[in-house]
Amino acid sequence: MTDAGGSPSVQPVGSKALYAMVEGGRYGAPTGRAFDIFVALVVVFSVGMAVIGTDARLTRHLDVFRVFEAGCAFVFAFEYFLRLAVCNEDRQGRYPHWFWGRLRYAMTPMAIVDLIAFLPWVIGEFTTIDSDKLLVMRCIALFKLLRYSQAFETISHVVRNERRLLGAAFLLMAILLVMISAMAYVVERRLQPEGFGSVLRAMWWGIGTLTNTGYGDVVPDTTAGKLLAVFAMIVSLGMIALPVAIIANGFAEETRRRNFVVTWQLVANVPIFSHLPASRIAEISAMLESHVASRGEAILVKGERGDGMYFLVDGEVEVMLEPEPVRLYPGDYFGEIALLFDRPRSATVVARRFSQLLKLRVDNFRRLMEQDKELAESIRQVATRRLAAGAGRRVGSRSDRKVEID
């Protein structure tokens, strides 16, 4: 069997299952999550042992340390070659070729980190290099934990998007550093040749001043040098704040964009809104508010007046109905009928675990109906049919996962 390029296509039996185990944690696969947790624990344990191993008082049983180190190295090596073997199954299709795809994957930053994670043990076993000199390499294994952080992925995306502004900010800081250091050299070199005898030496003072660190080992003595230091410290406040502000603004924008996409998709999946144009759905998405519920918290209480409609983004909630409760999952929605017919809630809804929801308040809901009479009539017709079919019961296929709760 060959691929499009004429090369043999390697499709081992169970490769998709292995991929789901190795890379499936980010997609919610149970085996993938278990694998990620196991590797993360090994990483923490391995680096912890490396740090403890630097204290002679705690390393009396050196043989035990070596056994644990070898075990962690084996886990890291196994993980590395397993990821290399299944990278062709990548869902985004980034490594399709059986050879060049694996080579390309091996050159990615995270793959290099995976390789470095077990190399210290190999080097220590087969060379005469002192293990203490390999300590920094062993600590690099901590970067493996970044693979399991969605926040880090967001920050990385923000840095890529804002790289031009960040580059300009750092260039401006570099220019300011050179200028400040050159002026300090001119006014201080005769009195302090050790600290300001060259522009390069003056840069040590310049970096400490511009970053507001101020070690105090090198300080200007002349009046001109002191005035220069005051100017540098004042300007440095803005210079340091500039890249921080760029990243913070980019992070907020990226978070808003992602939340908008999730909200838009949720609203688009609601039957009463699914036929609306994208621009209209975007307007509805802007009306939604974020809401979180902890485990055991009552989101809706039976008998209360309806104040909003809820969309479940993440988590799990339970509707206390008779004869048995109904559970709702991400993508489900509830609470719309109470808004339409101005009636009390007919059931209590409790969060089974920590849940994230989006809430469409009653005033926004009614404003939406007033703005679009056709949509309002459609909503009333759908609600009437749902009530006739039995409010509070699951309807349609499980894949629809739409529940009508007062």
Concatenate the DSSP letters of all residues of 252-286 into one string: HHHHHHHHHHHHHHHHHHSTTTTTS-HHHHHHHHH
CATH of the domain spanning 278-390, picked from 2.60.40.420, 2.60.120.10, 1.20.120.430, 2.40.370.10? 2.60.120.10
Per DSSP, the residues of 157-183 read: HHHHHTHHHHHHHHHHHHHHHHHHHHH
Reading the block at residue 392, the tokens are 């509070």
Q: What is the pairing mode between strands 298-300 and 308-314?
A: unpaired
- The total number of residues shown for the chain amounts to 406
Query: Which SS3 state, helix, strand or coil, does residue 18 take?
Result: helix
Contact yes or no for 310/334 (Cβ under 8 A): yes
Ranges of the chain with pLDDT below 50: 1-13, 391-404
The pLDDT value recorded for residue 12 is 46
Architecture of the domain defined by 163-255: Orthogonal Bundle (1.10)
372, two tokens:
């679009």
> How far apart (Å, rounded) are the C-alpha atoms in residues 191 and 178?
20
Would you say the pTM of this structure is higher than 0.75?
no
Q: CA-to-CA distance for 24 and 14, rounded, in angstroms?
A: 14
Q: What is the pLDDT of residue 77?
A: 94
For residue 310, give the nearest of 334, 332, 326 by alpha carbon. Answer: 334
335 neighbors 312 (Cβ within 8 angstroms): no
- Tokens in use for 398? 């499980």
The residue type of 205 is: W
Distance CA 51, CA 44 (A): 11
- Kindly state the helix (H) or strand (E) to which residue 310 belongs, with its residue range: strand 308-314
- Per the CB < 8 A criterion, the answer to whether 244 and 165 are in contact is no
In this prediction, residue 59 carries a pLDDT of 64
Show the tokens assigned to 369.
Answer: 């109906």
- Is residue 296 left, alpha or beta, with left meaning phi > 0 and alpha meaning psi from -120 to 50? left
Cβ pair 308, 361 in contact under 8 A? yes
Give the residue ranges of DSSP H helices in 25-162: 30-52, 62-86, 100-106, 109-126, 135-139, 150-161
The secondary structure of 326-365 as a DSSP string is EEE-TT-EE-HHHHHHT-B-SSEEEESS-EEEEEEEHHHH
Alpha-carbon radius of gyration of the chain: 30
How far apart are the C-alpha atoms of 296 and 298, rounded to whole Å? 6
User: Residue 351: what pLDDT?
Assistant: 92
Q: What is the distance, to the nearest Å, from the Cα of residue 73 to the centroid of all Cα atoms in its chain? A: 27
The residues spanned by each domain of the chain are 15-148, 163-255, 278-390
Cβ contact 343:337 at 8 Å: yes
| pLDDT at position 185 | 94
Q: Rounded mean pLDDT of the chain? A: 81
Backbone angle region of 6, left / alpha / beta, with phi > 0 → left and psi within -120 to 50 → alpha:
left
Fold entry, domain 15-148: Four Helix Bundle (Hemerythrin (Met), subunit A) (1.20.120)
pLDDT at position 157 = 82
Query: Would you call 341 exposed, middle or buried from its count of C-beta atoms within 10 A (0-12, 13-18, 19+)?
Result: middle
